[in-house]
Amino acid sequence: MNNESIGTQLRLERCKRNMSQESVCEKLNMTTRTLSNIENDKGNPRQSTLNKLIDFYELDPQEIK
């Protein structure tokens, strides 16, 4: 990807797919608060949560830094 934060990269991927936070959270059994915090770079999300999102968006984990 580029030099943007992990949260920004994940938000851009969600928006590219025209998905709301609610629809992603429903599919991944996650709260919208959790996703919002990740996309806004608040706190330190669990690696397992990040992995769920990376897998869901079919991203290369090496490109997400």
- Are the beta carbons of 63 and 1 closer than 8 angstroms? yes
Whether 64 maps to a domain, the answer reads: no
Name every residue whose Cβ is closer than 8 Å to that of residue 39 and which is 6 or more positions away in sequence: 7, 8, 10, 11, 14, 21
Q: What is the CA radius of gyration of the chain?
A: 11
Instruction: Tell me the residue range of the domain where 22 lies.
Output: 6-58
Q: Quick check: pTM over 0.85?
A: yes
pLDDT, tens digit, 9 for 90 and up, residues 1-48:
468 899 999 999 999 999 999 999 999 999 999 999 999 999 899 999
Whether 1 maps to a domain, the answer reads: no
Tokens 């996650």, located at residue? 30
Domains held by the chain: number: 1
Instruction: Determine the Cα–Cα distance for residues 65 and 26; give it in Å rounded to an integer.
Output: 25
